[in-house]
Amino acid sequence: MRPFPRLSVAAVLPLLLPLFLGGCGKPESTPAADAAGRPGPTLTKVILQTDWFAQPEHGGFYQALVKGYYRDAGLDVEIDQGGPSVRPQEIVATGRASFAIGRSDDVIVFVSRGVPLVMVGALMQRDPQALMFHEESGIRTFKDLDGRNLMAVPGSNFIPVLERTFGIRLSITPSDFGMSRFLADNNFVQQCFITNEPYYVRKQGARVGTLLLSDSGFSPYRVWFTSRQYAREHPAVVQAFTAASIRGWRDYMEGDRTETDRMIGVLNKQMLPDFIAFSVEAMRTHQLVAGDPARGETYGQIRPARVQELIEQLTAIGILTQPLKVEDVFDPGFLPGEAR
């Protein structure tokens, strides 16, 4: 099971703000070698900090590593796994990692509070977060949640947005990161990842339904981001990492991912083959990674209009502490042409 590795922005910022001015140093370079040990071109060291332990939702980055796409781009990439106590925004802002991943709404909130981060690409066009309920509960739409108790991470941005959008009120129970309460109560509603928890509760015999939060009108991207200083000082590295990551995600979703899935299973023993297959199929079914081609969406893409809509939604619920423009939080210049 994957619990939610989420700390509220309010909890993290007091620890983060005194630190980020340390900035980023020059990327290290490492000599490459071919299979025979002969010296090759020098590679630039890059660290990617993920938000949780290795899993299919990170598959494109591991695919780029396994298939050599980062090396082809002149990069020596190290992927550091996250976990419940890891704060990716802090790690990037203080220069301990070159890039990290997270939700675009969280990045926007951090920037509004003075943390100099910038989004440069999207690993998912649609966020996998959803609300999970029993089919017997009678819930079919977001309006049906009115007056319900929802187990979720307190402070999640989607909660006030849903209440405002649909004119509903939710009673929040702090998430205990388990599923026993859901399985014991047919009226229980729980925050989940559509790529994860439904797999486990269905194996326990539950008839589960889900409402994908991106279908509510609140639709953040899942992005990789860096610090403003790193992007300013190392634009070629940011561009190369972005292009290679997009290549990795396309290949993970459309090509042979056998070796990558094996690596994920070694790094995280909970990632068994049937679960990985379920997660990847959920990403395909719900068009999470590549988006909807009929709407012109594609791998890596971030559209300024969607970022602007998120800024407006977060402003409307009083979360942003200062006015922001799209260019304050996103730089499209690092995306390849087909993703713009």
Looking up residue 208, the CATH number of its domain turns out to be 3.40.190.10
- Under DSSP, the state recorded for 332 is G
**pLDDT one digit per residue (tens) for the chain, 340 residues:** 444 343 333 344 444 444 444 444 456 666 666 556 666 679 999 999 999 999 999 999 999 999 999 999 999 999 999 998 899 999 999 999 999 999 999 999 999 999 999 999 999 999 999 999 999 999 999 999 999 999 999 889 999 999 999 999 999 999 998 999 999 999 999 999 999 999 999 999 999 999 999 999 999 999 999 999 999 999 999 999 999 999 999 999 999 999 999 999 999 999 999 999 999 999 999 999 999 999 999 999 999 999 999 999 999 999 998 899 999 999 999 999 888 7
Is residue 95 within 8 Å of residue 230, measured between CB atoms? Answer: yes
Q: Are 53 and 106 found together in one domain? A: yes
How many C-beta neighbours within 10 Å does residue 141 have? 10
Parallel/antiparallel/unpaired status of strands 99-103 and 29-33: unpaired
Do 194 and 51 have their domain in common? no
pTM across the whole model: 0.88
| Single-letter amino acid, residue 83 | G
3 state DSSP class of 234: coil
In a domain, 22, yes or no: yes
- How far is it, in rounded angstroms, from Cα 46 to Cα 96? 10
DSSP 79-107: EE---TT--HHHHHHTTS-SEEEEEHHHH
Domain endpoint, select from 182, 216, 250: 216
21 secondary structure, DSSP code: G
Q: Is residue 1 part of a domain?
A: no
Flag whether 4 is in a domain.
Answer: no
Q: What total of structural domains would you count in the chain?
A: 2
**In a domain? residue 146:** yes
